[in-house]
Amino acid sequence: MIERILVVGAGTMGSGIAQAIAEGGRQALLADAIPGAAEKAKGRIAVSLDKAIAKGKITPDVKEAVLGRITALGDFKEIAAGTVVDAAVDLVIEAITENAAVKKELFSDLDKVLGPQAIFASNTSALSVTELARATSRPERFIGMHFFNPAPIMKLVEIIRGADTAEGTFEAVRVLAEQLGKTPVTVNEAPGFVVNRLLVPMINEAVYALMEGVASAEDIDTAMKLGAGHPMGPLALADMIGLDVCLAIMEALDAEFGDPKYRPCPLLRKIVRAGRFGRKSGRGFFDYHQ
Ligand SMILES: NC(=O)c1ccc[n+]([C@@H]2O[C@H](COP(=O)([O-])OP(=O)(O)OC[C@H]3O[C@@H](n4cnc5c(N)ncnc54)[C@H](O)[C@@H]3O)[C@@H](O)[C@H]2O)c1
């Protein structure tokens, strides 16, 4: 039974995953490479719980209980040194930058300090689970656990089997997802899994349409909301996902398939180079400064 979970990466996804874990009654340890980032993420979780109280969805007692199950770790180096995280961690969920080399280095470091029972899961959007698993000595205890944004609300978790994932690992993670109130779908490893294979090329096409002057950003989004019944337009959704994350997913699809239909739109590259990452940086296709 998975009880104590270490979430590494306290950005958009890591903080949401830690909240979902704590709301599901499990203990979440939250860590980040940037000192103080986990504590700040816990502050953001408190703000979102305050909003839920204001809407009458939860009581202040529930908020305190949820926050009490989240431990924000300080300096990330403490983990690598083995002084904070010990053999009691049952599962690690990695939610750091979408970069294979950076993720592999982290998994290799964690492999040395965590007990042999710990399962390693990556929240990668499109990278190869099999390849990431090779950075550890436990590829049979390695799996993809792909949450969606915002993680406390979105029901889906794609559970991705790598080439070496053991049945027991898969089953433990599937049961946990259900216990957290999620609906798991099983995916055999493939670039972009299911959702991002379909969704991100659509977003990329919306960026091409914008670049070619087919319509304004507002009108592209209105067209897809009212014409295709999507709850959000593709460009607003891209801003929510993070434009750097969208670009990384297109690059992974492009590299894996080698098919020009997955070529990242040059406008997407340009905006990311300009540091416009969407909501998290205050500006993307739309402006989020008040
Ligand atoms: N944003 C989404 O909608 C979404 C959805 C599903 C999956 N994902 C995936 O989740 C992962 C995280 O995405 P995000 O949107 O939360 O990114 P983010 O940029 O918001 O957060 C990443 C965090 O990881 C930290 N970090 C970077 N390198 C680290 C390291 N070596 N050790 C510890 N911490 C480190 C950063 O300081 C940052 O706080 C990516 O793999 C992404 O593809 C994102």
Q: How confident is the model at residue 285 (pLDDT cuts 50, 70, 90)?
A: very high
Query: 30-75, pLDDT tens digit by residue?
Result: 999 999 999 999 999 999 999 999 999 999 999 999 999 999 997 6
Q: Cβ of 270: how many Cβ atoms within 10 Å? A: 12
Q: What is the CA angle 111-114-118, rounded to 5? A: 90
Nearest-angstrom CA–CA distance, 52 and 56: 6
Segment 263-280 mean pLDDT:
98
Residue 56 alpha carbon to ligand 1 centre in Å:
31
Ligand 1 atom 3: the closest Cα is on which residue?
A: 241
pLDDT at 284 over 60: yes
> Tokens at residue 99, please?
């970069």
- Residues paired with 158 in a beta bridge: 146, 185
Residue 3 alpha carbon to ligand 1 centre in Å:
23
Ligand 1 atom 30: the closest Cα is on which residue?
A: 33
Q: Which domains does the chain have, with CATH numbers?
A: 4-188 (3.40.50.720), 197-281 (1.10.1040.10)
Residue 276 alpha carbon to ligand 1 centre in Å:
16
pLDDT at 102 over 90: yes
pLDDT at 87 over 60: no
- Tell which one of 32, 102, 127 to mutate to probe ligand 1, the residue whose CB is within 8 A of the most ligand atoms: 32
pLDDT given at position 198: 97
pLDDT given at position 85: 55
Q: Is 33 in the pocket of ligand 1 (CB under 6 A)?
A: yes
pTM for this model (two decimals): 0.92
> Tokens at residue 63, please?
């908020």
Q: Give the C-alpha distances (Å, rounded to integers) separating 173 from 15, 183, 195.
A: 19, 12, 19
Query: 144-186, pLDDT tens digit by residue?
Result: 999 999 999 999 999 999 999 999 999 999 999 999 999 999 9
> Tokens at residue 7, please?
């979430």
Segment 17-23 mean pLDDT:
98
